[in-house]
Chain A
Amino acid sequence: MIFKLILIGCSTDITSRAEEINAFVAENLGSGDHVGSTILFYSPEEDRNELLRLVPTESVKLVCIARYQPETILEALQTVEKEEETDLYLFPSGYAGSELAVRWAFRTKGSSLVHVSGIECRQNQLIAKKKVYSDYLFGTFRLNKKPYCISPVRASAGSVPVQMRRHVIVGEHDLTLLCKDQFIKASRWSEADTTASLEKSKFILIGGRGMGNEKNTANLRELAGSLGADFGVTRPAAMNAWAPMDKLVGVSGAVTKPEVCIVAGASGAPAFYAGIEKSKYIVAINTDSKAPIMRSSDVAVVDDYKPVLDELVKLMKA
C-alpha cells in the first residue's frame, strides 16, 4: 500500500502531532509491504530544517504556503498531488486533521473516517475501527473507495519520538501566492487558556456532575490547588458553566495521560473516560458504588468526595 502522511508545520502542536502519527504508523503500518512518504506544509515564518526533523519517513515533499487555512491546504494538495497515485492519506489527529481528511476524500472521490483508533490494510479495502454511540461502542468499518483518508483519534497509539534520519526531498513547492481565503475580511488571533496544559499534567483532580453547583466547583478547584493537582471537569459540569470549557476533559476536550488522576463525583460516561483512559492510575470517589467509573478505576472510594479530599489534603500537608 502506498501511504502518505500529512504534517502541518504551521501548527503550534506539530511535535506532538508528528509523534502521534509516528506511533500510529508503527502500530498499524509497521509490517507489510507499505511504502510511505510525507507531505509537509509550512509557512515562511517556520524553520524548515527544524520541521524536517519531525518527518517520520525518508521521502518527503515540502510545500510552503502563506499561512494555515484549510481551503488553501486543500487547494495546495490538489496542486502537488495531481499526478500521484496514493492508496492511503494519513492526516494528523485533532480537528484540523479531521477536517482535511474528510474534505480531501470528497475532492478525490475517496472515502474517509476520522477519530480512528486502528486500521488493517486488505486487498482493495481498508478496515478501520473507531468509537461510536457516544463512545459506548466500537464500530468496525470497511472503506472501499481509494484513496482512504484517515485521521486517528488523539493518542490512539500513544506517541513515539521521531528518530533523526536523512531525508530525500522528492518535491519542493512554493505556493505562498496561493490564496483561497478571500471570504475572510479580517482576522485576529488571541492567546487564551486551552486544554493543552491539562494534556501535559502529571496529576489531575476532575469534578463531575456530583459537584452540584458553581460554588462547590470553585471549592474543589481550590482543593486541587492544595493537593498540587491540576483541575478539570466533565461535560455536564462545563455545560452548566460551573467551570470554563478549557477545563473540559473528555473526547471533545482534553485527552489527558497523567500519572495520577482523581475523579470526584463523576459517573464515568465513555465520552468522559476517553479523556482519562491513558492515565497510569485512576482513583474514583463517588457516593454511588454502581457508577461505571468505580469499575473503570484502579481504586474506588464509596463516599462523599468532599470529606475524603479534605482529609487527603491534611495527610499530604502533614
Chain B
Amino acid sequence: MNILVCFTVMPELELMLDDDWVVDKNLHIDVGFLKQSLNCFDESALELALRFSEAAQNLHLSPKLSALTIAGPEATAMLKTLSALRFDPVVRIDSEKDLRFQSMSIAAILSQYVVDHPPQDVVLTGIQSGIGENAKTPLLVAEMLEWPCITQVIEIEPVDETELTVTCQVDNGLLQQTIQAPCVLAVGNAAYSYLRVPTLKDRIQFGKKAHEILYGGDFDALEEGVELMDLNLAKQERSGTLIEGATPKEKAATLYASCLKERLKKL
C-alpha cells in the first residue's frame, strides 16, 4: 500500500511579540525570522504513517511511504529528517505564489501530484494548517480525486494490501472502520502527536539523500472564490487584576475570599 503524507512546516507563532504583528499593504506579515516546525496535525500524520508501516511489515506487507510539501527552502531540514526516517521519495513543490488562503490551489497541486505519480492508495494529512486555518485541503483533495474522505482520524492499521482500519473521533465516541483504498484521511487529535527522531546512523545513511523539487508553476490553480480583505490582531484582553500577597498562602486567601468564594457557592 502506498501512503503519501502531505505536510506543512510553519513558523512558531507563539514566539511573536505583539509588536511583531505588522500587516503590510499586501496583507503579508514578516514571520521569516521565526523557527520553523511541523504543523501539529501533520506531525501526527507522519508518525501515524511510520507506525502503520511497521505494523504492515509485521504482517509481511510492503508499504511504501512518501512525503510531500509545498514550501520554500525553509523546509529543507525537515525534508532531511523525513528522508532519514525512510520516507521515499520526499518531495518539495516550490511555489512562489501566496498560498496562505488558497486551499483550492493547494488541493489542485496535491491532487495533480497524486494523479501524476501513481499508484497512490492513501493520502494522509493533517486536518488543518496553522497559518490559513482553512481546514479545507484534505476535503478538496478528496473531491478533486473523487476519493472518499475520513476526517478526525486518530489511528490507522493495515489489514492487507488494499484495505486498512481507520479509527476516527465522532460524537461521543470512536468509529473504527475497515475501508478499501484509495482514500483521503485527515488526521485530528491523535494520541501519537510527536514525530520520532531518526537515529544518527539513519541520518548519516539516508538523511543526505537529495529530495525531489518540483515547481508549483507547473500545476494548474483553480479559481478560489474566497479573497482575503483584511487582517487584524485578535484581542483577548480582560482586566487581569493582580492578586497581591507576600506568600502563596496570602495570595490564595485573597483569591478565595475576594474572587472565588461567592462564585463557587452559586455553582
The count of chain B contact residues (Cβ–Cβ below 8 Å) is 80
Q: Is B83 an interface residue, CB under 8 A from the partner?
A: no
Q: A103-B139, A113-B226, A282-B238 are in contact. Are A183 and B171 (CB under 8 A)?
A: no
- What is the bound-complex CA distance between A22 and B191, given in angstroms? 34
A194 touching B169, Cβ below 8 Å: yes
Q: Does A239 contact B (CB under 8 A)?
A: yes
Contact of B174 among A98, A192, A303 (CB under 8 A): A192
Mark interface residues in A253-293 (1 if CB within 8 Å of B CB, else 0): 10000011000000111100100010001111000010010
Interface stretch among B63-71, B74-82, B112-120, B243-251?
B243-251
How far does the alpha carbon of A229 sit from the alpha carbon of B130 in the complex, in Å?
31
B91 contacts the other chain (CB 8 A): no
CB contacts (< 8 Å) of A239 on chain B: these are 40, 193-194
- Whether the Cβ atoms of A297 and B40 lie closer than 8 Å is no
Determine if B255 and A141 form an interchain contact, defined as CB atoms under 8 angstroms apart: no
Contact of B136 among A102, A132, A245, A292 (CB under 8 A): A102
B230 within 8 A of A: yes
Cα–Cα, bound, A235→B251 (Å): 28
- Residue of B13, B139, B173, B259 near A299 (CB, 8 A) is B259
Q: How far is the CA of A104 from the CA of B188 in the complex (A)?
A: 21
A37 interfacial by beta-carbon distance below 8 Å: no
Q: Is the CB of B135 within 8 A of A98?
A: yes
* B229 close to chain A: CB less than 8 A: yes
Contact, CB under 8 Å: B229 / A136: no
Q: Is B180 an interface residue (CB 8 A)?
A: yes
Cβ < 8 Å to A, chain B residues 91-114 = 100-101
CB distance from A184 to the nearest CB of B (A): 5
Does B226 contact A141, Cβ atoms closer than 8 Å? Answer: yes
Q: Is B197 part of the binding interface, using a Cβ–Cβ cutoff of 8 Å? A: no
Residue B58 interfacial (CB < 8 Å): no
User: When the two chains form the complex, which single residue of B130, B148, B223, B266 contacts A134, counting CB atoms closer than 8 Å?
Assistant: B130
Q: In the complex, A159→B151 CA distance in Å?
A: 26
Asked whether any CB of chain B lies closer than 8 Å to the CB of A90, the reply is: no
A308 touching B178, Cβ below 8 Å: no
Q: What residues of chain A lie closer than 8 Å to B29, measured between beta carbons? A: 133, 137
Q: Are A138 and B234 in contact (CB under 8 A)?
A: yes
Measured CA separation A277–B180 after assembly (Å): 41
User: Given the complex, which residues of A lie within 8 Å of B248, measured CB to CB?
Assistant: 303-304, 307-308, 310-311
Q: Roughly how many angstroms separate A114 CA and B233 CA in the complex, as a whole number?
A: 19
A232 near B: Cβ within 8 Å? no
User: B176–A187 contact, CB under 8 A?
Assistant: yes
Q: Distance (Å) between the CB of A234 and the closest chain B CB?
A: 11
Is B227 close to A, CB under 8 A?
yes
With beta carbons under 8 angstroms apart, the residue of A71, A191, A296, A302 that contacts B238 is A296
Interface assignment of A196: CB less than 8 Å from any CB of chain B: yes
**CA distance in complex: A172, B234 (Å):** 44
Contact A316 B264 (CB under 8 A): yes
B228 interfacial by beta-carbon distance below 8 Å? yes
Cβ of B267 within 8 Å of any chain A Cβ, yes or no, is yes
CB <8 Å contact, B179 and A183: yes
Considering the chains assembled together, what is the distance between the CA atoms of A28 and B152 in angstroms? Answer: 29
- Give 10 pairs: A residue, B residue, CB < 8 Å, sorted on A: A11-B171, A95-B127, A106-B140, A137-B23, A138-B234, A182-B180, A241-B193, A259-B263, A308-B252, A310-B252
Besides the known contacts A294-B240, A309-B252, 7 further A-B residue pairs in the complex with CB atoms under 8 A apart: A95-B152, A106-B139, A140-B231, A184-B179, A187-B176, A191-B172, A301-B242
